[in-house]
C-alpha cells in the first residue's frame, strides 16, 4: 500500500482520537460568602426596583441626556469600541481559517526556452482548494482564544460605558450642588453685609465696642473670598462636565440653566452571593476571558508540536502552443501533506513554555482583580453607610435650624432682637444649608461609586 493511500487512513485515525475542545473551568473566585459591611436598610432601599433603570430613577432628563451625549462623543470610548471591532474581526478570521480555503488562479506565459528555443505560449485557469484537518486542536484553540479576546474586549467596552456614565453623573451632580452653594454664598455675603451695617449702627449707638464692630467687618472680607471661590468652583466643574460630554462650556451652561440637585436614589441589595454578584463586573469578565484566551493559546502551542495534516486539490483548464501546434485539456490533482516537526532546536517547546507562563500570569491577574473587586465593594458599602447616617443626622439638624431662623425673623420683626443677632442666626441657617449640600453630594457620590463597583446596572434575569 502506497503512502498516498495510507495518509487518508492515518488522518481518519487521528481525527477519531481527537476529542472536542472544551473551554476551561474558571479558577475558584477568592470571594467571601457574604459581605462584611452591612447593606443600608431602609424602606427606600427595600422597595427599590432593578438596577437596570437606576439612572432614570434620578428623574433628571439632563443627566440621562448628558450620559448619552458622552457615550456618543467620547474619544476614549471610541478607542475601546475600535478595539472591540478589531477583536471581532480577528475572531472571524480565526474561525474562517478552520474551513476550506478556495481560490481562483489564472496565469499565462509566452517566451522561448531550451532545448529548442521554440516560441511557446501557455495559459491556464484553476480552482485551488486547501483544508487543514485540525488533528490535535491547534486551530480550534486559536479560534477559542480569539473568541475569548473578543469577549474580553466587549467587557472592556461595557466597563468603559459604566465608568463614563458614573463620571458624568458625579460631575453633573457636583455642578448642580456647586450652583446652589454659590447661590447660598451670595446670600451669606448679603447677610454678612447686613450684619456689618447693624454692627456699625450698634457701635455708633454705644451698644457695641469698636473692636466688636471691626471684627464683624473683617468677617465680611472672608465671606467675600469664600463666595468668589464657590463661584469659581462651579465654573471649574462646568468645564469638567463639558470635557466629559465633548461640548463647549458656554452652550452647555445655557442648556442646563440652574436647577436643584437630585439625590441619588438608594437601591436594594441585589440577590446572590458576592461571587455571583461580582461575576457581572466588566473588569472581572474581561480578566476571566483574558485567562481563557491564555489557556487556549497554551493549548494551541502544545498542539503545534504534533503532526499537521493538510489536504489540497486543484482543477482547471490549460492550453499550450508550441512550434505551431496547440494542445489543451483539463488538469487536476489531489495532494495530502503530513507535516511532523522532528527537530526545531526547541522552538515549539519554548513557545509552549511561554504560553504556559502567560496562562499563569493571567490566572494571577484574575485572582488579584477578584480581591480588589471585593475590597472596592466593601469600601463603597462602608462609605454609603457613613454618608447615609451623616445625611440623616443633617436633615434633622436642618429642620431645627430652619425653625430657629423663622423664629429669629419673627423676633426681629417684633423688635425683640437686634439686626446683628438676626443676621447671625440667618447666616447660621445658611451655613447649615451649605453643609447639607456637601453631605448630600457625598451621599450621592457614595451610591454612584457602589453602583459602579458592582458592575453597573443588571436585569432581574442576571440577579436570578
DSSP notation for 107-165:
EEEEEEETTTTEEEEEEEEEEEEEEEE-SSSHHHHHHHHHHHHHHHHHHHHHHHHHHHH
Non-local (6+) Cβ contacts of 418 within 8 A are 198, 202, 207, 412
Confidence (pLDDT) at 291: 95
- Dihedral Cα 347, 350, 356, 358, nearest 10 deg: -100
Q: Distance between alpha carbon 233 and the CA centroid of its chain, in Å? A: 28
CATH class of residue range 32-103+133-306+350-463:
mainly alpha
Q: Distance between alpha carbon 409 and the CA centroid of its chain, in Å? A: 52
Q: Using CA atoms, how far apart are residues 293 and 190, in angstroms rounded to an integer?
A: 65
Confidence (pLDDT) at 157: 93
Question: What is the crossing angle of helices 138-204 and 282-303, to 10°?
Answer: 160
**Tens-level pLDDT at each residue, the chain (464 residues):** 444 444 454 444 444 434 446 678 888 888 888 888 887 765 444 444 457 789 999 999 999 999 999 999 999 999 999 999 999 998 888 888 788 888 888 887 877 766 666 777 888 888 888 888 888 888 898 899 999 999 999 999 999 999 999 999 999 999 999 999 999 988 888 877 777 777 777 767 776 677 766 666 666 777 888 888 888 999 999 999 999 999 999 999 999 999 999 999 988 877 777 888 888 899 999 999 999 999 999 999 998 888 888 888 888 887 777 767 788 878 888 888 888 888 888 888 998 999 999 999 999 999 999 999 999 999 999 999 999 999 989 988 888 888 988 988 888 888 888 777 888 888 888 889 999 999 999 999 999 999 999 988 654 334 32
Question: Can you give the pTM of this predicted structure?
Answer: 0.82
Query: How many CB atoms lie under 10 A from the CB of residue 415?
Result: 7
Confidence (pLDDT) at 50: 59
Non-local (6+) Cβ contacts of 268 within 8 A are 45, 46, 47, 48
Q: Is the CB of residue 246 less than 8 Å from the CB of residue 171?
A: no
Confidence (pLDDT) at 207: 67
Confidence (pLDDT) at 457: 67
Check the CA dihedral 63-64-67-73 and report its sign. negative
Helix (H), strand (E) at residue 34: none
Q: Distance between alpha carbon 344 and the CA centroid of its chain, in Å? A: 43
Q: Using CA atoms, how far apart are residues 406 and 51, in angstroms rounded to an integer?
A: 41
Confidence (pLDDT) at 2: 44
Confidence (pLDDT) at 275: 86
Residue ranges covered by each domain of the chain: 32-103+133-306+350-463
Confidence (pLDDT) at 329: 79
- Dihedral Cα 56, 58, 61, 62, nearest 10 deg: -130
Strand order in the sheet with 118-133: 101-113, 118-133, 308-322, 325-339
- Cis bond leading into 115, ω under 30°? yes
Strand partners, 314: 128, 333
Q: Using CA atoms, how far apart are residues 285 and 148, in angstroms rounded to an integer?
A: 10
Amino acid at each position: 500500500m502506497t503512502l498516498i493511500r495510507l495518509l487518508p487512513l492515518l488522518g481518519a485515525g487521528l481525527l477519531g482520537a481527537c476529542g472536542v475542545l472544551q473551554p476551561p473551568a474558571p479558577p475558584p473566585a477568592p470571594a467571601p460568602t457574604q459581605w462584611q459591611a452591612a447593606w443600608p436598610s431602609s424602606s427606600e432601599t427595600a422597595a427599590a426596583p432593578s438596577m437596570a433603570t437606576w439612572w432614570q430613577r434620578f428623574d433628571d432628563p439632563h443627566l440621562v441626556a448628558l450620559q448619552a451625549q458622552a457615550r456618543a462623543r467620547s474619544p476614549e470610548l471610541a478607542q475601546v469600541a475600535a478595539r472591540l471591532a478589531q477583536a471581532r474581526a480577528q475572531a472571524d478570521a480565526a474561525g474562517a481559517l478552520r474551513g476550506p480555503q478556495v481560490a481562483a488562479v489564472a496565469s499565462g506565459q509566452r517566451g522561448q526556452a531550451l532545448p529548442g528555443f521554440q516560441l511557446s505560449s501557455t495559459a491556464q485557469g484553476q480552482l485551488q482548494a486547501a483544508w487543514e484537518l485540525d488533528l490535535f486542536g491547534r486551530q480550534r484553540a486559536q479560534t477559542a482564544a480569539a473568541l475569548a479576546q473578543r469577549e474580553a474586549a466587549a467587557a472592556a467596552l461595557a466597563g468603559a460605558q459604566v465608568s463614563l456614565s458614573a463620571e458624568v453623573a458625579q460631575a453633573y451632580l457636583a455642578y448642580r450642588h456647586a450652583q446652589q452653594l454659590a447661590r447660598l454664598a451670595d446670600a451669606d455675603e448679603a447677610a454678612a453685609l447686613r450684619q456689618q451695617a447693624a454692627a456699625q449702627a450698634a457701635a455708633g449707638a454705644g451698644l457695641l465696642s469698636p473692636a466688636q464692630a471691626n471684627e464683624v467687618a473683617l468677617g465680611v472680607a472672608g465671606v467675600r473670598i469664600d463666595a468668589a471661590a464657590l463661584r469659581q468652583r462651579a465654573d471649574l466643574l462646568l468645564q469638567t462636565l463639558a470635557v466629559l460630554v465633548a461640548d463647549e462650556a458656554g452652550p452647555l451652561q445655557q442648556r442646563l440653566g440652574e436647577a436643584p440637585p437630585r439625590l441619588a436614589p438608594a437601591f436594594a441589595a441585589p440577590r446572590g452571593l458576592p461571587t455571583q454578584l461580582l461575576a457581572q463586573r466588566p473588569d472581572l469578565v474581561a480578566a476571566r476571558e483574558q485567562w481563557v484566551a491564555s489557556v487556549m493559546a497554551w493549548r494551541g502551542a502544545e498542539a503545534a508540536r504534533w503532526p499537521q495534516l493538510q489536504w489540497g486539490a486543484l482543477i482547471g483548464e490549460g492550453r499550450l502552443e508550441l512550434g505551431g501546434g496547440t494542445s489543451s485539456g483539463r488538469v487536476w490533482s489531489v495532494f495530502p501533506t503530513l507535516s511532523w516537526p522532528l527537530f526545531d532546536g526547541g522552538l515549539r517547546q519554548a513557545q509552549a513554555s511561554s504560553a504556559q507562563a502567560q496562562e499563569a500570569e493571567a490566572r494571577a491577574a484574575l485572582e488579584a482583580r477578584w480581591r480588589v473587586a471585593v475590597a472596592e465593594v466593601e469600601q463603597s458599602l462602608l462609605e454609603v453607610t457613613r454618608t447615609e447616617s451623616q445625611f440623616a443626622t443633617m436633615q434633622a439638624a436642618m429642620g431645627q435650624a430652619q425653625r430657629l431662623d423663622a423664629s429669629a425673623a419673627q423676633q426681629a420683626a417684633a423688635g425683640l432682637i437686634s439686626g446683628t443677632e438676626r443676621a447671625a442666626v440667618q447666616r447660621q441657617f445658611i451655613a447649615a444649608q451649605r453643609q447639607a449640600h456637601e453631605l448630600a453630594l457625598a451621599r450621592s457620590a457614595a451610591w454612584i461609586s457602589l453602583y459602579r463597583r458592582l458592575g453597573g446596572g443588571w436585569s432581574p434575569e442576571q440577579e436570578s
